[in-house]
Each structure stands twice: as C-alpha cells, then as structure tokens.
Structure 1
Amino acid sequence: MINLNIIRHWIDRILASDPGLTRLQKAITVTLSVISSVLTMLLLVSIFAKGQMTVAILAGIVGLMGIMVVNDDSTKEQKVTTLLLTLSSGLAITLGSVLSSLSHIADVALITVIFLAFYLQRFGSRYFSLCMIGFISLYFSTLLHVKPAQLPWFLIAVAVGVVYAFLFNFIIFKERSDMILKRSMASYHIQTNLIFRIMIEAIEDLKRNRLRQATLKRNVVKLNEYARMTSGQLGPTDPGKVWPGIQTQQLRLYLFDSQMLIETLSPAVRRLKVLHALENSEVRETLLQVVKALRDADVLQEDYEASHLKEAEDAVQALKQKLDQFNNKDESVRAWLFLIRRIESIASHVVDSAHRLKVTRKETLEKDNVKSLEEETSHDTQTNGMEVSTKRALQAILAGTMSIVLGYLLSPSHQYWILLSAFVVLLGTESVGRTFVKAFQRFAGTLLGAVVGFFLAHAVSGRIDLEISILFFCVFMAFYLFPISYALMIFWITMVLAIMYDILLGGISEQLLFARVLDTLIGAAIGFLVSALVFPKRTKDKVADTIEDFLFDLKAYLKDYLGRFAGAQPLTNLADKALDLDVLLQQVRDEARPLHNTPGTLGRSGIERRLTVLTAVNYYAKHLTASTNRGIIRDADESLRQTLHHVQSRIEDNLNVLCRLISGKSGHQESVWELEKERERIERLPDKRSLNVLNHDKLIYDLYYVWRINQAVVSLAKDMGARSKRQ
C-alpha cells in the first residue's frame, strides 16, 4: 500500500531543495547565454566565414563568463562590469594574436594577468572580473595561435557573448531578484511545514523514535541554511516590491522568530517526552493546537486567510493559560514548565511578527502607498603586514611560472593546461586546507569526467546534433550543481571538454584525455604546494580569524541586549545581528571543514572543542532575542543598572581575553571573570522597591542565557590556559 505521508514528504523535500530556485535559474541563464552565443556565431560563420568554428566556442565562453564572473554589489555596477568585459576580452584577444608567434612573451603576459587578477581584488570585484575574462581570452587566443587576419571574427564573438550575457542577466531575467526572494520564502515555508508535520507526529506519539528524531534534526539544519540564504537576499532585494509595505527588518525578524521556534521545539519536545510531560493530555493537546495553527499561518501567501493567524493567536493564548494553571503545581511539573514557557514565549514572538506583517500589508494595499526600508551594513577589516591580495598575487606568479615551465617540458602541444589548473585552484582559497580540498576535488572531478566523457564521446561520435545537445546539457548540470559541489561541476565541465575535443578534432583519444588528467593533477599539486610553502595561511589561523570575527559581533550583540536595562533604544535590530552571528558561525565551520579529512586533527588542534562551545554560545545568543521581552526596561532601578553595566564590562573583558588566546597574541597568563556573585546579587534583589517595578522571575528568565554565554566563554578560555577570578 502506498504511504501518502511518505509521498507528500518527498514532494515537499524536492520543492524546497533549491530555495528560491536560485541554482535552477542561474543554470538556465548560463545555459541559454551559451547556447545563444554559440548558435549565433555558428550561423554567422556558416554564412560568411566557413572554417572559423572556433569563434563559436569563444562566444560561448564569453557568454558563460559574462554571467559567472560578475559579482558587483549592485545591479547598476554589474551592468557596467558586464559591458566592460567586451573591452577586456577584446584587448586580450588582440594581444594574444600579436604575441602568438612570440611564445615566451605571451607566457609573461599570461602570468601578468594572473598577478593582476589576485592583486587588484583589493580595489573591488570588478577588476577581478575583468582580469579573469582577460586571462581566459588571452589563454584561448594563445592556445589557438589566432592570426591578425582572424581577429575581426574573434572580436565579433566577444561582442556576441557579452550581448547575450547582458540580455539574459539584466533584461530577460531583470526581475529575478524579487522573484527569487518570493520563491525563497515559499521554500522556507515548505521546509517549515515539513518540520511541523514531523513535529506533530512526534507529539502525538508518546514513544521516542530515533529515526524520526534524526530526520527532524537533519531538516532543522536544512531550515537554518534556508533562513541564512533568504536573509542574505534581503540585502540587495527590497521585500516591499514583492509584498507591498513590508520592510527588510520586519521580514528578517519574522524569519528569525520562526527559525528559533523550530530550533526550540525539536529539543523541547524530546525533553518533554523524557520528563513524561506529554502524557498529560491537556499539555499534549495544547501543544498540538499551537503547532498546527502555526503551520497554517503563512501570512505571505497571496491567498492567505486571516482566520489562520487568529487560530494561531488563540492557540498561543491557550498555552499561556495552561502555564498559569500549572504554575503552582508540584516540583515534577516545574521541571518541565520552563520548557513550555520557552515555547510559549517564542511562539508569541512568531505570532506578533506575523501579525505586524499582515497589518503592514493590509494598510499599504489600502493606501496604495508602498514604502520600504533597506539597511546595509559594512564591516571594514584591516590586516597587519602584507595584504592578503598581494600574498596571493605573489603565490600566483610562482605557481604560474612553475606551471608554464613544466607545461613546455611535459606537454608542449598544450603547455597551458597545467597553468589553468594551478590558477583555478588558487582562486577563492585563502587557507592551505581549503586549497588542498579544492585541488583534490578538481583532480577527482577531472578524472571521473574524463573516463565517462571518453566513452560518451565515442558513443555519440559523428552525430553532431546529439553531441551539441549533450554539450549544452552538461553545461546546465555543471552550473546547477556548482553551489553543491565543486567536484561535480568539474566532472560535467570535463565532459564538455571531451565532447568538444571530439567535435573539433574529429575524434578523441585515450592519450589526449590522459594528458588532460595528468596536467590537471600537476597543476592542482603546484597550486597546493605554493599555497602551503609561500606565505602559507594555515587552516588553524584562518579558523582563528573567523572566530575572532564571531566574538567581535557577539560583543556588540550583548552590549545592545544589556543596554535595554539602562533605558536604551528598543531592540529593533537584534534579530538581524543574531542572523549575522549564525552566518559567521557557519563560516567558522566551513573554514574548519578541511581538518575533518585528517582523523584526529580537529581534536588535536583544539578546534573541535572551540566549535562545540561556539555552537552553544550561538544557540544561547539567539535565545536572548527569541525567548525574552524585546522592549525597553525603563523601570529598573539605578543599582540594577549599575550591576548590569558591570556585568557587560566583565563579559567584554572575557571575550577580549578569549580573542587574544585564540589568536596567540596573549603575552602573559590571562584571567577571566566567573560572575557568580553578580548573578546571585541580581537573582536575590534584596531591594523590595526593585521587585515592585520589575517582574523578578522575568528578569531572571531574561538574563538566563547571558550567564550561560559567559560560562561557555570562561570554560573555553580556561581550557586554553586562562585562570578564573571572582569579584
């Protein structure tokens, strides 16, 4: 019998697997640009210049790179950069044709462009884009020995490629950023409802199911990824264009609250089962009512029904009433009452955020007056000593020189293959570990792609229509899978090359593909060795730098949170900062990932322990915003304000100590503050007047995760050699 729940689960899984359909749209855009560029040039050369088939390949390459290498901050800047690609590529093609008979001067020109590609990154991504297409164009013209007489056709090919890249990127798909945001939110809601469905099953079933718990955990991790991706799209995209009246900050707050509700529900339900709380039918039914109501409360749907949000509000209110009823029960009830209170608090925030979105949309639609707010923040970082871009540029010069020398010695008929591989391996990899991983992925993808491509090319050889169709399919798959795996992209790109060799050379040999794999291996090895031996950036050092960024933002986050008690401004942007912390923590994980390849390395380096503590700190920090009151606490007396200011100062000192220990800049034994006496002083609050103006239980609840954060920081600092001290 067909299990409808399983079918529904996998349908939702597929629909949500590509948030905003960004991968699909990028792959379609690139593929259409390549197809159009190639076919246009094939048509032109078949009419006017028979035998000039290679210009169609150049047009396809330019059409591809015109989309993939342009990464400016604004659409306006991207348009300018795309048009400038014509000049950069045209000059490179011209230079290549002039130097085609002067091989060693052409070698110097290639290395110079590689140096500039890395060095000029400090001035903006535009210069990197121009140098990238300049390098590929110079590489292409030098490899093919383009003659001055052929130059006009190659310049036409460049223009055709840029025109199609511009056309598909900025005209045909000109509204794509708004639509991507809308689809991203749709994917986010699908993933949220998928988790809610699993959660409902978990609440209804009093038995603990490990398989279901593992499935739930994986889906929560995936939801966090969707939240980060969607939040990132709110920088360049105004949500008011998609949902009139909604501001960037409002939508980020809604994302944060719903994400935190999911993160809280999963472990809370598991713990409630352990404490036998769900055996109480009232508790179980009330939680089910809340989860089911929130599952339906998607206020961004075009056909949204207001009754769904009202049901969610009623369900949360019912949960509050249950809390009041259980508040005076015995100790066994108080053991799990805290978990219910946390769920109720975050669910209330979700309902409030959803209500504000609904009211804003309604008022705006009624007034037909769309206003939006978009905030952008920048964080300038300074480095001591030589700039990173300069170091990478010098590495590129050395790797490029070695690659060209070995290219002439080992494979003089295609002497630049090693150079291309070494250059690409160095791109976007600051640490030695990341360079090694990329080098390995490039070799593995090339090896597998060469084997499969060889047999496929032989199978379809001579059937030009089928070969071209497969060629474009491989291009699509390469860029659709690129965000998932670099190795998969290289696999499909190598398939493209295998079929192109068959088309251009009238057949493909084992020797040619073997040479391609060998050159890739050598180039990848050169890139890795240069990265490891010349101005090396150890993976541990890169992880330490990223952790420092995380702790820097955490310090500002805690300052804003504790500032409420001194009558500071409302916490309108804390959710934004919490999401930023989430992004920084993911960057720490990404930088540490190469260490997973060597068993025991994480443990010996201490990074595994740091990741564990930072993950806990990030969890506590998000709960400060998710599960507490967000308003200004104006009624706190002066004594409490001074104590909290003192706490903030001590925590900042502890974070500074931890930064020095992680970066290795500590020249003496450091000390960190435990803050046990400060916590005891606040939780006792002997001044009765304070109790009259401030809910004591609420205060303890609001500060609970502040103490947990400090305990985690102190624990990690002590592990690294610091000593603890008390007031």
Structure 2
Amino acid sequence: MPDEATATLRRDLQALRTLVLRAGSGDTGTALAHVRNRLLGYRDEENLPPAPAAVQDVFRGIGEAARSVLGLRIALDGPQDESDDTPATARSREELDAEDAAIDSAEEPSEEEEKGLRRPTTRAAVQVAVGSALAIVGGELLSTQRWYWAVLTCWIVFLNTSSTGEILVKGYRRLLGTVFGVVAGIVLAGLVGQHTVTAFALVLVLIFAMFYVAPLSYTLMSFFVTAMLGLLYTLLHTYSLDVLLLRVEETALGAACGVVAAALVLPVRTDRRTNELLGTVLERLADVTEAAVGQLSGGPADELLDKARDLDQALADLRAATQPLTHPVTPLRARRHTARYVVALLETCAYHARTLAATAELLPTHPSIAADPRLRGAAGRTVRNIETIAARVEDEHAAARVETGPSIASLLGSDAGTPRYGRITDRVLRHLERLDEAVVGLARPLGVPVAEPRA
C-alpha cells in the first residue's frame, strides 16, 4: 500500500470517528461540514484516491458510513444548514429524503381501514372465541377425553375464510372427509390390523397423501387424516370403533359451533364479501388494461407484470369467496349459475388483459409490434365500461350505462398510405375486441344497464 494512501486512510478514519462523536451534539461548524463533504465525496468514483482496489473499497465504505452519519444527524438535530453542501452531499440528502418519504408512506394507515369490531382480524378473533367456548362445552358433554377435537375443528374452519358462507363450506368439507375417513380407517384396521409393518407403512403413505392433496382438496386431506388415525390407533393398540365414531360427532359439533358463531356474532354475508372482491377485480382489470393500452399507444413504460399479478391474486380471492355460491349442494341454483358465469367472464377478461400486458412488454424489442397512438382513444370505451360496472357494484343506484358501438378495429380509422400491420398487430386488435365484448357481457348478469349503440 502506498504511504500516501495509508496516511489518507488513517486521516479519514479519524475524521469519520469525529463525525460519529459529534452526531446529535448540535455542532454545525464549517470545519465539520468540510470534513463531511470530503468523506461523502468518496461515494463518487472520480473522488477516490489512487490506491489498490481493496483500499478503494475501504474509501467507498467510509463514504457510505458518512452518509449514514448524515442521516443520523438529520434525525437527531432536525433540518441542517445546506449552504456548504457539495453536489455529493446534496445527492445524499435527496436519497435520505426519498427513503424517509417511502417509509412514511408505507407506515401511513389506510383512510378506509376499518377499526374496532369492524376490523376483520378483531371480528374473526371474537367469532373464534365464541365458537371455541361453544365447542368446549359441547365437546365436554360428548367426551371428557376427546373434547379438543371439536375445538380443533372450530379453529380450522375459520382459517383462510372471510364470510359465513366460506365457513359453512369448509365445515361441510371437513365433516364429509372425516365420515369417509372413518369408514376407510375401519376397513384398513380390519385388513392390516395384525400386520404391524404393513400398518406402519400405510400410515406413512397416508401422511404423504395428506400433505400432497392439502393444496388441492380440503375434503381429501380430512379423509387421509382420519384414515391415518384409525391405523395409528391400531398400532398403539387403542383402536376402537367408538373412538372413530366419536371423532365424527366431535367434528360435526366443532363445525356447527363455528358456523353458528360466524352467523350470529358479527356476521359477514357472502354477498357483501363477494361484492367487495368483485370491485377489487374490476379495479385491477381497469389498471392493467389502461396501462397496457397506454404503453401500446407509445406512452411510458409501466409495471405491467406487477399489475397483472395483482389482477390474478384478486381474481383468485374472488373465486375462493364465491365457492359457497357455486358449490353443488347450494339450493340457490340461479345464483350459482350467475356466479359461475360472472367468474368465467372475469377470467376471460383477465386472460385478454394479461396478453395485452405481455404484448406491451415486448414492444421495445419485437419487430412486428409498434406503438400506435390511435389505440388509446379506441380502447377508452372498454376502460370506461369497466369503471362503470365497478361503480354499479359499489352503488346499485348508480345511473351510468355501459357503452356499446362499433368494433375496436373500426374505431382506429385509417391513415392514408399507412398499412395497419406494422403499426399495430392483428393479435393486439383481437384481444382488445374480445376484452371489450367480455366486459359488455358482464353488464347483464350484474344488472348494469346497457346503452343503445349510437347511430
């Protein structure tokens, strides 16, 4: 290491120590500002002294440490005198201000966030507490040793559910899986009960199947859990038909306690939950469509992939929330068909919106896809229709109507001497038109009036 670089490094480390010791002291002398400016300058490559690469890394570290000290000083002493700032110091201040703004925006509570008993987590906690109390009392009456099965079922039916209908469906699926699991447990215990190795191997197989099907079917998971318990009791020489039947009774009791608590204590109707999620899906759909069309029209690049992921997540939440309405055993057949039709149309809309977003992402590199400014105006009707439907879902008294009219292709018009291909591909037009048709199709099942086409 050259002697000059060593001396400079020692001097600057001592200067950094001084900055740290003076932080929060209120000292705003000019000499201290010059020391700070010199150390912050090491964040720029051109200010690094000639030295080996490893030593230059140390100088860079000193610059970053000085930036941290500057942030600490601002936090402790408040606004600083910026008259002596160098460009490097000014840039560091701007970075710290941007970080503070980002942290503040992330910590700000949403204005629409519900409070008290209307808050989802608080409401769920009260419901679970009431349901658990009922399950403990009822389970104790059924069995003083196995009462916890009812409580466990009550807890489980509340997991990842947000409405009374979802809890009802989850409780039904758990009970159905338990009933068939008891039958399977009885059969397997009779067949392999005297063969310990075989029974142990089947227990392992059932455990694997339980975790394998968990994301796919809650009913199947409950089936494999109960069948595994039948074999496990056989291995432990505690198998009894009465115990397996008691499990069915405790499961039914726990599910019933959960449903009763959800229906009577701060209930959330399935209609309210699905309407909230439907509004979210429509909002995300409008965001993706508008951003994709804007980029295809020559506008600035946007976070299209993130917006598309948000749309997919909102649609998945809606699909889960409509399960009580689309379940085969629901007695409301008309609502079941309507819910399935609406979800299917939304999935169609999401597919075309995702494709538009993916096409827009290819715009800078794909030779056959070029920006066309005419797209923004032609696709504006589709975005307005989505917003109209969302407003009607939020307020059923909204008077807006869904617009209809000529196809997207005819709205583009034509430029003399300019072929359509090369400015916008047929693929983009096809997806825009299908999206527009699907959005208009949403109006009828959701009760949104459709305006007559203009002559």
| TM-score interval (norm. to shorter) | 0.5 to 0.7
Q: Could you say what secondary structure the match of 2:398 adopts? A: coil
Query: Which residue, out of 403, 406, 410, partners 1:676?
Result: 406
Q: Deviations over 1:379-418 (max 9, x none)?
A: x986545221111111101100101111222222322221
- In 2, Cα distance between equivalents of 1:446 and 1:635: 58
How many residues matched? 337
Which runs of structure 2 are paired with 1:335-350 in the superposition (5 Å)? none
Q: Work out whether residues 647 and 675 of structure 1, in 8 Å CA contact, stay in contact via their aligned partners in 2.
A: no
CA distance in 2, matches of 1:726, 1:383: 40
Q: 1:667 aligns with which of 369, 385, 397?
A: 397
Q: Does residue 435 of structure 1 match 2:435?
A: no
1:511/1:679 CA distance change after superposition, 3 Å: same
Worse overlay, 599-608 or 436-445: 599-608
Hey, which of these two has a bigger chunk of helix by percent? 1
Match of 2:145 in 1: 413
Letter in 1 for 2:400: E
CA contact (8 A) 1:677 1:726 kept: no
Are 1:656 and 2:387 matched, yes or no? yes
Aligned AA (1:682) = L
Partner of 1:712: 438
Q: Write out aligned runs for 1:442-591 (5 A).
A: 442-461=174-193, 464-504=196-236, 506-569=237-300, 574=304, 577-578=307-308, 581-582=311-312, 584-591=314-321
- Partners of 1:509 and 1:406 lie apart in 2 by 22
**Percent of paired sites with the same residue:** 27
Q: CA deviation at 1:466?
A: 4.5
SS at match of 1:724: coil
- Relative to 1, partners in 2 of residues 1:384 and 1:600: Cα closer, same or farther, differing over 3 Å? same
Q: For the aligned residues, what is the CA RMSD?
A: 3.6
**Which of the numbers 135, 141, 150 marks the counterpart of 1:403?**
135
Give me the whole-angstrom Cα distance separating, in 2, the residues matched to 1:565 and 1:458. Answer: 67
Amino acid at match of 2:156: V
CA 1:569–1:512 in 2, change beyond 3 Å: closer, same or farther? same
Conserved 8 A contact 1:671-1:725 = no
Letter in 2 for 1:656: E
In the alignment, residue 323 of structure 2 is paired with which amino acid? R
In the alignment, residue 389 of structure 1 is paired with which amino acid?
T
Aligned 1:681-700 pairs, distance under 5 A: 681-683=411-413, 685=414, 687-688=415-416, 691-692=417-418, 695=421, 698=424
TM-score when scaled to structure 1?
0.41
The residue type paired with residue 712 of structure 1 is A
- SS at structure 2 position matched to 1:561: helix
Q: 1:670 to 1:534 in 2, by over 3 A?
A: farther
For residue 160 of structure 2, give the secondary structure of its aligned residue in structure 1.
Answer: coil
Q: How far apart are residue 563 of structure 1 and its match?
A: 1.5
Q: Point out where structure 1 has 5 or more consecutive residues left out of the alignment.
A: 1-377
Task: State the Cα deviation string for residues 161-185 of structure 1 (Å, max 9, x = none).
Answer: xxxxxxxxxxxxxxxxxxxxxxxxx
Write the distance in 2 (CA, Å) between the matches of 1:712 and 1:473.
46
TM-score, structure 2 as length reference: 0.63
**Cα distance change, pair 635–424 in 1 and its aligned pair in 2 (3 A):** closer
Per the alignment, residue 423 of structure 1 pairs with 155
Q: Deviations over 1:519-540 (max 9, x none)?
A: 1111112212322333333333
SS for the counterpart of 2:268 is coil
For 2:229 and 2:361, locate their aligned partners in 1 and report how far apart those are by CA, in whole Å. Answer: 59
Match of 1:614 in 2: 346
Closer, same or farther in 2 for the Cα pair 1:467/1:701, shift >3 Å? closer
**One-letter code aligned to 2:283:** F
Q: Within 5 Å, which residues of 2 pair with 1:222-233?
A: none
Partner Cα separation in structure 2 for residue 521 and residue 717 of structure 1: 41
TM-aligned CA distance change 1:602 to 1:552, over 3 Å:
farther
Kindly indicate whether the alpha-carbon contact (under 8 Å) linking 2:363 and 2:370 is maintained by their aligned counterparts in 1: no
Query: What is the Cα deviation at residue 473 of structure 1?
Result: 2.8
1:627: how far off?
Answer: 6.9
Give the Å deviation of 1:713.
Answer: 2.0
Deviations 1:613-638 (A, max 9, x none): 223323432443567894268875xx
Displacement of 1:585 in angstroms is 3.7
Query: For the Cα contact (< 8 Å) 1:624–1:705, is it kept in 2?
Result: yes
Residue aligned with 1:672, SS: coil
C-alpha distance 623-416 of structure 1, shift in aligned 2 (>3 A): closer
Is the 2:293–2:356 contact (alpha carbons within 8 Å) kept by the matching residues of 1?
Answer: no
* Alpha-carbon distance between aligned partners in 2 of 1:549 and 1:510, rounded to the nearest angstrom: 49
Distance change in 2, residues 1:712/1:402 (3 Å)? same
* CA distance in 1: counterparts of 2:324 and 2:396, whole angstroms: 27
Residue 724 of structure 1 corresponds to which residue in structure 2? 451
Whether contact under 8 Å (1:443, 1:517) holds in the other structure is yes
Between the aligned partners of 1:469 and 1:479, the Cα distance in structure 2 is 16
Amino acid at match of 1:491: F
Deviation at 1:463, TM superposition (A): 5.3
